[in-house]
């Protein structure tokens, strides 16, 4: 029985440390994940900036505005999702898979005055093996 | 043809399970024989199904949906064959095949042990096989046909046309599926109510086998990302990467818990729990990648109805197992004396760390889902959070791994402990001081260096003292931990101290980077089998001496199917030394203006990661060769 007490104490210490580190880690790299509709509609005061470094937004690259300078490493494009769209300005290395129609994830802040999302990170989804999109069978 | 194999495979699987149940209930050897033959038949039938699919892929049978979705005529033969695991249906069939082959192998290995126990091992193996066969037959059928024969297929994504694709997925699958066996044995031992060390001895080769494959698979995936994806990293804390890490962490914990169980009879219930959790996490990983809940992962997943089946499987098997643990709880009492300042004490705290680390990474991976449920906001975390949370646990784990070899089982004499540990501590501190002097001054880096070098020193000391060359088990453990320390240093230094430069340079000009001069040549365009290659040759010289030629490349893949768009990929080039890698990506070029734009990265000690991994795998194989008595 003595052992169980020892185990339990160690377990409790580990659990407390774990909870502490999980919460601390959130302030290090926590991001709000928002839909385009939420980003465009809400004013930024509603997001708690103390807890978050920025926003992560997913969507599809629209074809109406698509200015990419791979050489100059800038991209200005429109992202759309669920009937809403948002202008994005990005500076940095452009991923290979980035093109019109690609699914992308951007991280950064929304500049409400200019109506533009300033992205510091751009991820284009790797069309990986698990993809099961219906139009894939368009042969 | 393939469908026939699947259906028959399902039928004989059910026959086998019924036969084994009857064999236990009636204590009847002829039922046991029937079950055994049915199991062998199932193995043969699923092998047949795999061969049929392989034949379709290689011969380009574009009447088959799977073949048409993942290959095309232009694809090199090796990628046609490996398209077997490029898609969902194929991977599930592969899973079923591995499960049945491993189970059938136990038929041979368990030929002399108790038939009731064996029956339960086979029942759980066959049950899992049937589950995957069922998914293949009724949810995602690899043998589904088109109403017509397509002229050509969709082709395989260029990013997947890489050596990594040939070897990374099957390594992971073998590792995942092999963790089914520890579960099967744990289940069997609980069913027959024998919680002696028999099952834990029986699972050791399987846990090691699975662990070696998982280690190799994960690191190979990291290497693949490093050479193929062109961002200079090898680990991004992506949901899919994490999914392969969960069973690795708990599987590593299982290996350590098994030592406590076998030698000291401590924490028996933890041994069972970890066998269960590791198995469920291999399934959970598969669930995670298919559920569509991880929408921000760079691996794009199709949401599919499969996820519910996986969830159901996890819930059912867990409930049954937990109920069995509850029934056997009195036998699992831990009565032997336990001291924290002992080798088993270190093991125990390490188990806690492994579990805490798993929970932490799992919590962050699932955070968008959890926060959405609790707070109706989706919160997610960047790599920084993952690094933040894993560093302290790894520091503690390395500290423990450095301490455990200088401690003894039972109770440790503190005087002896000090005498053994002080040299280890001195060596580690010297390395930290040297690293500081060389300008590597991060706090996390210092802690990780101190502790991982202590692992290295402690195990080398152990090797000198115990001369383990006749005992594969000890020798294997030493090699694994030395490899672990080497890898830990590689990860620490390459992650913390890498630096990159964006360079715009004239063609035929040169620039300085790190200690090298890099001279740029002219862009070379070549037509390859199924892509157009544009290469920029770079010559690396050090003090006027030519060292290497790097050829970063742009590839334009032109699919043989005219309806499909061309796709481009960047192929990085790198020059590896033990000191670090010079890693170059061709970001763009303009032949009219005569300019090239490059990203050049120096990453210290990257090679140590790959070397460390190879050592860990060799150590695992050595340990596996150890013959345990009465097995």
How far is it, in rounded angstroms, from Cα B306 to Cα A132?
A: 12
CA quadruple B371, B377, B378, B384: dihedral positive or negative? negative
User: To the nearest whole angstrom, how far is the Cα of B68 from the nearest Cα of chain A?
Assistant: 8
Same domain assignment for residues A1 and A40 = no
Concatenated DSSP letters of B235-246: ----HHHHHHHH
Does the residue A67 lie in any domain? yes
Same domain, A23 and A42: no
pLDDT of B531: 87
Would you state the pLDDT for residue B230?
A: 66
In a domain, A52, yes or no: yes
Q: What is the pLDDT of residues B259-281, one digit of tens each?
A: 989 988 888 999 999 999 999 99
The answer to which of A21-25, B198-202, B485-489, B603-607 has the lowest mean pLDDT is: A21-25
If we measure between CA atoms, which residue out of B248, B261, B240, B173 comes closest to residue B207?
B248
Residue A42: per-residue pLDDT: 58
Which secondary structure element, helix H or strand E, spans residue A103, and what is its range? strand A103-111
- Find the residue in B nearest to A5 (Cα): B338
Residue A26 with chain B: CB contacts under 8 Å: 379, 381, 385
In this structure, the answer to whether residues A82 and A112 fall within a common structural domain is yes
Pairing mode of beta strands B378-381, A30-34: antiparallel
- Taking 90 as the threshold, does the pLDDT of residue B341 lie above it? no
CA distance B553 to chain A (A): 12
Tell me which residue in A14, A29, A96 faces B382 most closely, judged by beta carbons: A29
- Tell me: do A36 and A89 sit in the same domain: yes
Give me the pLDDT at residue B214, please.
97
**If DSSP codes are grouped into helix, strand and coil, which group holds residue B187?**
helix
- Are A20 and A42 members of one domain? no
Tell me, yes or no, whether A61 and A20 share the same domain: no
In a domain, A130, yes or no: no
Whether residue A137 and residue B588 make contact (CB cut-off 8 A), yes or no, is: no
In a domain, A89, yes or no: yes
Beta bridge partner(s), residue B571: B553
- In this model, does residue A129 exceed pLDDT 60? no
Structure confidence at residue B302 as a pLDDT band (50, 70, 90): low
pLDDT at site A131:
38
Q: Determine the Cα–Cα distance for residues B542 and B516; give it in Å rounded to an integer.
A: 5
| Residue A14, C-beta contacts closer than 8 angstroms, at least 6 positions apart | B352, B353, B355, B356
Q: What are phi and psi of B546, to 5 degrees?
A: -70, 130
Highest mean pLDDT: which range of A65-69, A128-132, B146-150, B534-538: B534-538
- Give the up-direction half-sphere exposure of residue B114: CA atoms within 13 A in the CB hemisphere: 15
Same domain, A108 and A118: yes
Torsion sign, CA atoms B31, B35, B40, B46: positive
Same domain, A15 and A46: no
ipTM over 0.95: no
Q: Which pLDDT belongs to residue B79?
A: 93
Residue A4 contacts B, CB cutoff 8 Å:
yes
- The reply to whether A59 and A18 lie within a common domain is no
Residue B151 burial (CB count, 10 A): 14
Asked if B382 lies within 8 A of A73 by C-beta distance, the reply is no
CB contact under 8 A, B300 and A7: no
Tell me whether A42 touches chain B (CB under 8 Å): no
Task: List domains and CATH numbers for chain B.
Answer: 1-156 (no CATH), 499-606 (2.60.98)
Average pLDDT, rounded, for chain B: 90
Query: What CATH number has the domain bearing residue A111?
Result: 2.40.50.140
Q: What is the pLDDT of residues A61-99, one digit of tens each?
A: 988 888 887 777 789 999 988 888 899 999 887 877 788
A17 belongs to a structural domain: yes
Per-residue confidence (pLDDT) for residue B167, from 0 to 100? 92
- Residue A103's domain spans which residues? 32-124
pLDDT for B555 equals 86
Give tens-digit pLDDT for B582-607. Answer: 999 888 888 888 888 888 999 999 99
Q: What's the pLDDT tens digit per position in B554-570?
A: 888 877 776 666 777 78
Same-domain pairing of A71 and A23: no
Band (pLDDT 50/70/90 cuts) for residue B118 is very high
Residue in B87, B151, B229 nearest the CB of A129: B87
Higher pLDDT among residues B370 and B630, named by residue: B370
Coil vs helix vs strand at A85: strand
- Contact yes or no for B222/B257 (Cβ under 8 A): no
**B357 within 8 A of B408, measured Cβ to Cβ:** no
Give Cβ neighbours of residue B352 (< 8 Å, ≥ 6 apart). A10, A11, A14
Whether A133 is covered by a domain: the verdict is no
Chain A positions touching B301 (Cβ under 8 A) are 128, 130-131
Quote the number of domains for chain A.
2
The shortest C-alpha distance from A113 to chain B (Å) reads 24
User: Rg of the Cα trace of chain B?
Assistant: 26
The more confident residue out of B308 and B444 is B444
Note whether B534 and B554 are within 8 A (CB): yes
Inside any domain, residue A137: no
Same domain, A45 and A74: yes
- Which pLDDT band holds residue A46 (cuts at 50, 70, 90)? very low
> HSE-up of B595 (CA within 13 Å, CB side)?
9
DSSP state of B299: B
Q: How far is CA B486 from CA B468, B489, B607, in A?
A: 20, 5, 10
Edge-to-edge strand order for the sheet containing B499-506?
Answer: B499-506, B595-604, B580-590, B573-577
Which residues 73-92 of A are in CB contact (within 8 Å) with B?
73
- Nearest residue in A to B298, CA atom: A125
- With beta carbons under 8 A apart, name residues in chain A contacting B298: 105, 123, 125-126, 128
Cβ–Cβ < 8 Å for B100, B92? no
Contact predicate B236/B225, CB 8 Å? yes
Helix (H, G, I), strand (E, B) or coil at B380: strand
Q: Phi, psi (5° rounding) for residue B74?
A: -75, -15
Half-sphere exposure of residue B421: CA atoms within 13 angstroms, side-chain side: 18
User: Is residue A134 in a domain?
Assistant: no
**pLDDT tens per residue across span B411-468:** 778 888 889 999 999 999 999 999 999 989 999 999 999 999 999 999 999 999 988 8
The answer for residues whose C-beta is within 8 angstroms of residue A126's C-beta and 6 or more apart is A97, B157, B159, B229, B298, B299, B300
Q: Which residues of A touch B169 (CB under 8 A)?
A: 129
- Could you give the residue ranges of the DSSP H alpha helices within B157-238? 163-178, 180-191, 198-228
Q: Answer yes or no: do A47 and A108 share one domain.
A: yes
Contact call for A33 and B380, based on CB within 8 A: yes
Picking from B355, B346, B440, the residue whose alpha carbon sits closest to that of residue B398 is B346
Give pLDDT tens digits for B349-407.
Answer: 999 999 999 999 999 998 888 888 888 888 888 888 999 999 999 999 999 999 999 99
């Amino acid at each position: 029985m003595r052992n169980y007490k020892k185990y339990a104490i160690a377990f409790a210490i580990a659990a407390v440390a774990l909870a502490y580190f999980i919460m601390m880690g959130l302030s290090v790299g926590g991001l709000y994940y928002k839909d385009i509709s939420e980003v465009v509609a809400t004013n930024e005061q509603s997001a708690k900036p103390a807890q978050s470094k920025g926003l992560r937004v997913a969507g599809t690259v629209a074809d109406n505005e698509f200015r990419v300078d791979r050489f100059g490493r800038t991209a200005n494009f429109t992202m759309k999702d669920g009937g809403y769209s948002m202008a994005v300005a990005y500076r940095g290395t452009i991923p290979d898979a980035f093109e019109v129609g690609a699914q992308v994830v951007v991280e950064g802040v929304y500049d409400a005055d200019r109506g533009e999302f300033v992205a510091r990170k751009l991820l284009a989804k790797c069309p990986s093996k698990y993809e099961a999109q219906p139009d894939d069978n368009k042969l | 043809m393939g469908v026939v194999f699947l259906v028959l495979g399902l039928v004989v699987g059910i026959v086998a399970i019924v036969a084994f149940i009857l064999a236990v209930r009636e204590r009847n050897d002829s039922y046991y024989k029937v079950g055994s033959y049915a199991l062998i038949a199932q193995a043969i039938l699923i092998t047949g199904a795999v061969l049929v699919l392989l034949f379709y892929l290689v011969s380009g049978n574009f009447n088959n949906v799977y073949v048409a979705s993942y290959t095309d005529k232009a694809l090199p033969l090796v990628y046609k064959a490996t398209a077997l695991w490029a898609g969902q249906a194929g991977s599930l069939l592969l899973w079923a095949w591995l499960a049945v082959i491993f189970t059938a192998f136990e038929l041979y290995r368990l030929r002399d042990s108790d038939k009731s126990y064996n029956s339960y091992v086979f029942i759980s193996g066959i049950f899992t096989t049937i589950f995957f066969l069922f998914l293949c037959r009724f949810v995602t059928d690899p043998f589904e046909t088109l109403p017509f024969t397509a002229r050509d297929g969709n082709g395989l994504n260029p990013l997947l046309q890489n050596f990594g694709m040939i070897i990374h997925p099957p390594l992971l699958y073998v590792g995942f599926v092999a963790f089914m066996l520890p579960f099967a044995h744990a289940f069997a031992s609980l069913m027959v109510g024998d919680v002696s060390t028999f099952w834990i001895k029986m699972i050791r080769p399987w846990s090691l086998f699975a662990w070696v494959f998982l280690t190799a698979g994960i690191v190979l995936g990291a290497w693949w990302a490093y050479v193929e994806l062109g961002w200079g990293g090898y680990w991004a804390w992506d949901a899919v990467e994490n999914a392969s890490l969960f069973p690795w962490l708990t599987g590593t914990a299982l290996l350590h818990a098994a030592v406590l169980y076998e030698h000291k009879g401590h924490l028996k219930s933890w041994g069972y729990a970890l066998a269960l959790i590791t198995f469920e996490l291999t399934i959970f990983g598969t669930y995670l990648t298919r559920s569509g809940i991880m929408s921000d992962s760079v691996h794009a997943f199709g949401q599919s109805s499969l996820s519910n089946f996986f969830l159901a499987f996890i819930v059912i098997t867990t409930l049954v197992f937990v109920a069995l643990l509850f029934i056997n709880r009195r036998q699992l009492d831990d009565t032997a004396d336990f001291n924290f300042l002992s080798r088993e004490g270190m093991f125990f705290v390490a188990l806690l760390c492994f579990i805490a680390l798993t929970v932490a990474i799992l919590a962050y991976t699932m955070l968008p889902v959890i926060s959405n449920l609790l707070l109706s906001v989706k919160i997610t975390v960047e790599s920084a959070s993952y690094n933040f949370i894993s560093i302290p646990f790894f520091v503690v784990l390395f500290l423990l791994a450095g301490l455990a070899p200088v401690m003894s089982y039972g109770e440790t004499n503190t005087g002896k402990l000090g005498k053994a540990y002080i040299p280890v501590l001195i060596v580690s501190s010297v390395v930290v001081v040297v690293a500081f002097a060389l300008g590597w001054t991060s706090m996390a880096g210092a802690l990780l260096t101190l502790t991982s070098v202590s692992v290295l020193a402690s195990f080398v000391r152990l090797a000198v003292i115990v001369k383990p060359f006749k005992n594969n088990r000890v020798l294997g453990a030493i090699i694994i931990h030395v490899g672990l320390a080497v890898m830990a240093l590689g990860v620490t230094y390459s992650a913390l101290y890498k630096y990159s430069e964006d360079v715009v340079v004239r063609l035929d000009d040169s620039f300085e980077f790190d200690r090298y001069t890099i001279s740029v040549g002219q862009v070379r365009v070549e037509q390859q089998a199924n892509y157009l290659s544009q290469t920029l040759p770079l010559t690396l010289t050090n003090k006027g001496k030519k060292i290497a030629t790097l050829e970063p490349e742009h590839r334009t893949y032109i699919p043989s199917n005219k309806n499909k768009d061309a796709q481009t990929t960047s192929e990085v080039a790198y020059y590896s030394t033990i000191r670090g890698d010079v890693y170059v990506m061709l970001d763009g070029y303009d032949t009219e203006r005569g300019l090239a734009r490059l990203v050049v990265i120096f990453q210290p000690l990257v090679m140590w990661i790959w070397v460390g991994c190879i050592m860990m795998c060799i150590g695992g194989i050595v340990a596996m060769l150890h013959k345990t008595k009465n097995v």
